[in-house]
Structure 1
Amino acid sequence: MAEAKKIKAYEIGELDHYLFGQGNHYEIYKKLGSHKVKDGDTEGVYFAVWAPNAKAVSVIGEFNNWDETANEMERGEPLGIYTCFIPDVPENAMYKYSIETYSGARISKADPFANYAEMRPGTASRVTDLSRITWSDSAWMAQRKNWDHKEQPMSVYEAHIGSWKKHDDGTPDGFYNYREFAREAVKYIKDMGYTHIELMGIAEHPFDGSWGYQVTGYFAPTSRYGTPEDFAWMINYFHKNKIGVILDWVPAHFPKDAHGLADFDGTPVFEYADPRKGEHPDWGTKVFDFGKNEVRNFLISNALFWIEEFHVDGLRVDAVASILYLDYGRKDGEWVANEYGGNKNLEAIGFFKHLNSVVLGRNPGALMIAEESTAWPKVTGAVEDDGLGFSLKWNMGWMHDFTEYMKLDPYFRKGAHYNMTFAMSYAYSEHYILVLSHDEVVHLKCSMLNKMPGLGFDKYANLKVGYAFMMGHSGKKLLFMGQEFAQLREWSEARELDWFLLAEDEHVQIQNWVRDLLHLYKRNKAMYEQDNSWDGFEWVNADDKDRSIYSFIRHSKNGKKNLLFVCNFTPMARDDYRVGVPRRKQYKLVLNSDDVKYGGKGEERPLVYKAEKKECDGRPYSFAYKLPPYGVAIFEF
């Protein structure tokens, strides 16, 4: 029997081929890509790339004058992984793989596993050494292991780094770098009271207008805002300030850019070969082949890479429905049914179960969040119970019903009253997060403020009562940047938020309101610790459609600090408003939208209300409260 060739620790060996071929090499990113290593006394870089159908591959870069013949790679079987060691390659050196296809063509590709990329419009990969990154967030990482999203507050500030704020210094983009953004955003987020930040578009992408949703470098934080070390510094800084970090993650599709994953070795390597499965007709992008072990491994290891190597606290998985349904965005004749004749992608279902089991199994306290827009069952159900295993699901149904209701003239709201209560009929079928995301304030959908009916005071007052209802409703919360101070214009990635609006009282007042709601949410267990049970939510009156008033209670586990919400969605004052309550107790007013700092009239009113034995809302006790137009009152008892 032939003796197996002894390999160096950094080299691709038989076990690597086997595990990658089985789809279980969860740290394959430590082997594929470019890695600084030492071969004896010689320092250099080990390059490894999976190109199964290539005729030949070589490394081209600044260090060899982009010469296709200078550094040819050796093919490893059985998977077709090409490798080579090149001495004395400097840090940040640019490189690509020059691939000779079986048709005789030569194509140049960026490294799918590169950790750093050339600033766009350049498309080369860069050599970098992640082992130099240092962390000082051990306290955060230790407590994360015991963090349970089901019983903890979670209010998310969704942000796009490139357009949050910009430097007015004459530079072409004016981007804040990762470190500058972290320092400024931490101050703002702590002041406002959010618990997490969710960052759009971090993985490297060629086109700004894709917002980061068409990725070419899955293992590289975009160089628009700095180096991988800068990116890690940002995560570390958020953690030291007790702010969790969620990244948007895009396994649904990838672009056709010549340097990217599409037709990587001249053939469909990462995508389905059949265009009826492998292309999104609406988006003009490629679809990952979830039937290939190596492709599933690429994605699962990528999810682990962000969470384990960069300490990210969770991934929000984009466009899950487009992955699950074979006919998503496709007409008859444009899609292929599964083996049972159905429209479900069985391979993708298996992928999600594997992904979530591994990521959450290895990283207790981390989050996997599905942006899933249909009624697919058990998205957050346990894999053992045939669920997909996500931690949370974006509640797109609530978002649609809520925005459609809020757009209505208050006169017509009574006809759509149950838009606002319907979500509670399925609220505990999944673990939900309520979202008003970037998708709702682009493409002529208007900003949140300009969705509101009326003019002047009415618009701002409508938005305030809407936000209060959202904060009181069961489920975690997410709000897109700029909407917390009532941005007037739709969001654009090309300009910073309209911070100048905070020179105007109305915008400061909305910001004050959102800030106080967020802090109220974070400090009151009734708002979150029973988010997944009817024990935590109780309608007082869900049927007052003629007056368009909703009242409900959020219960804490120990019953010591419960909260009663009253929300008036019309401009009609209700001086005689009476609300039914469960006990003959005192009810303390803790948030009142009529306060001057929120744009109200500031009318003096008692802070404590004593329930009397007077039937109302089907309850034996009640108290009266002077409810102003679009009034919100939150009472603690």
Structure 2
Amino acid sequence: MAIPDKWIKLLKEVKDENWNMGDIVWTLTNRRYMEKTVAYVESHDQALVGDKTIAFWLMDKKMYTHMSVLSPPNYVINRGIALHNMITLITHSLGGEAYLNFIGNEFGHPEWLDFPRKGNNNSYHYARRQWHLVDDENLKYKFMNKWNSAINALEEIYGWLHSSPGYVSWKHEDDKIIVFERAGLVFIFNFHPDKSFPDYPVGVNRAGTYKVILNSDDLQFGGENRVDSKVLHFTIPETFANRSCKMFVYIPCRCAIVYKLLDD
């Protein structure tokens, strides 16, 4: 419960420009070495009996008016989808040895779930998930669902959930950057609300050429298409962040990128 409790506490009480990267990493990794743990973003405590889902804490009532792909861009929705995607990936890839979706959090269901009971006059109104939302191509719920599917598909290939725990090489509080390696992949997160970083140094332990294999800023995931996934990144033989070499990457604000070593 520590992980979903952490996310809900941050969303309720802390502006994301004040999120502590070290605290997030500690919550995601604070378990005995190789003790198998199930990680999840939200649970019954958040999404049942009248509280809000993670998506609704992020986007609130704007979800009822600005989730159409035909509507003008909206800052609250753009921020919400970006952070929802980042929270999903970092929890999935760093938080444990299994990952649990919670009845609709994969596509950002807006409302809570509440079974008929005396306290709600035995109402069935909230006793369902609105699965039609994610199937509507005119709504932005599809972006979060595609991101969730892409994460699971990538994990099927590289198997980070049954690999050794991630090695976190970088936690920068001012830049709001987290970097770690797991299952041979390099995960980079920029939680900063408005700072993008060109030529950001990233330490890696294996020399070679790296390419982007997953990017939350892709248009299909509701992003702004600021990352060119065709660009290759070459390491140089200089130690950085306690790793044997480094490379330089462009990491936009509120973006998560996964890199792999070519020919690996």
Pick the aligned partner of 1:629 from 233, 250, 253.
253
Equivalent position SS for 1:455? helix
The verdict on how the C-alpha distance between 1:537 and 1:588 changes in structure 2, with shifts beyond 3 A counting, is same
Question: 1:618 is matched by which residue type in structure 2?
Answer: N
Pick the aligned partner of 2:33 from 428, 433, 445.
428
Question: 1:581 is matched by which residue type in structure 2?
Answer: V
Pick the aligned partner of 1:450 from 53, 56, 76.
56
Equivalent position SS for 1:591? strand
Distance in 2 separating the partners of 1:465 and 1:423 = 13
Equivalent position SS for 2:197? coil
The verdict on how the C-alpha distance between 1:444 and 1:483 changes in structure 2, with shifts beyond 3 A counting, is same
Q: Is the 8 A contact 2:188 2:258 kept in 1?
A: yes
Distance in 2 separating the partners of 1:410 and 1:417 = 14
- What is the CA distance between 1:401 and its match in structure 2? 2.2
Partner of residue 513, structure 1: 147
Partner of residue 610, structure 1: 234
Distance in 2 separating the partners of 1:581 and 1:529 = 21
Distance in 2 separating the partners of 1:427 and 1:567 = 24
Question: 1:537 is matched by which residue type in structure 2?
Answer: G
Pick the aligned partner of 1:498 from 130, 143, 150.
130
Q: Is the 8 A contact 1:398 1:423 kept in 2?
A: yes
Equivalent position SS for 1:626? strand
Question: 2:56 is matched by which residue type in structure 1?
Answer: N
- What is the CA distance between 1:547 and its match in structure 2? 1.7
Distance in 1 separating the partners of 2:108 and 2:27 = 26
- What is the CA distance between 1:427 and its match in structure 2? 4.2
Distance in 2 separating the partners of 1:580 and 1:447 = 35
| Higher-helix-fraction structure | 2
Partner of residue 185, structure 1: none
Partner of residue 178, structure 1: none
Distance in 2 separating the partners of 1:466 and 1:423 = 11
Partner of residue 410, structure 1: 16
Q: Is the 8 A contact 2:165 2:182 kept in 1?
A: yes
> Structure 1-normalised TM-score?
0.34
Question: 1:634 is matched by which residue type in structure 2?
Answer: V
Distance in 2 separating the partners of 1:434 and 1:570 = 24
Distance in 1 separating the partners of 2:27 and 2:128 = 36
Considering only CA atoms, is the larger Rg found in Structure 1 or Structure 2? 1
* More contact order relative to length (CA 8 Å, sep ≥ 6): 2
Question: 1:426 is matched by which residue type in structure 2?
Answer: R
Partner of residue 271, structure 1: none
Partner of residue 461, structure 1: 82
- Report matched runs for 1:11-30 at 5 Å: none
Question: 2:161 is matched by which residue type in structure 1?
Answer: Y
Partner of residue 538, structure 1: 167
- What is the CA distance between 1:627 and its match in structure 2? 0.8
Pick the aligned partner of 1:577 from 200, 203, 206.
200
Q: Is the 8 A contact 2:93 2:161 kept in 1?
A: no
- What is the CA distance between 1:429 and its match in structure 2? 7.2
Question: 2:83 is matched by which residue type in structure 1?
Answer: N
Return 5+ residue gaps in structure 1 as ranges: 1-395, 556-561
The verdict on how the C-alpha distance between 1:429 and 1:634 changes in structure 2, with shifts beyond 3 A counting, is closer
- What is the CA distance between 1:528 and its match in structure 2? 2.2
- Report matched runs for 1:105-116 at 5 Å: none
Pick the aligned partner of 1:548 from 142, 163, 176.
176
Distance in 1 separating the partners of 2:237 and 2:157 = 31
- What is the CA distance between 1:634 and its match in structure 2? 0.6
Equivalent position SS for 2:178? strand
Q: Percent identity?
A: 19
Distance in 2 separating the partners of 1:401 and 1:612 = 37
Return 5+ residue gaps in structure 2 as ranges: 60-74, 116-123
- What is the CA distance between 1:419 and its match in structure 2? 3.4
- What is the CA distance between 1:605 and its match in structure 2? 4.1
Q: Is the 8 A contact 2:211 2:229 kept in 1?
A: no
The verdict on how the C-alpha distance between 1:475 and 1:405 changes in structure 2, with shifts beyond 3 A counting, is farther
- What is the CA distance between 1:460 and its match in structure 2? 1.0
Distance in 1 separating the partners of 2:234 and 2:248 = 9
Partner of residue 190, structure 2: 568
- What is the CA distance between 1:574 and its match in structure 2? 1.8
Aligned length, in residue pairs: 229
Distance in 2 separating the partners of 1:432 and 1:623 = 32
- What is the CA distance between 1:550 and its match in structure 2? 1.1
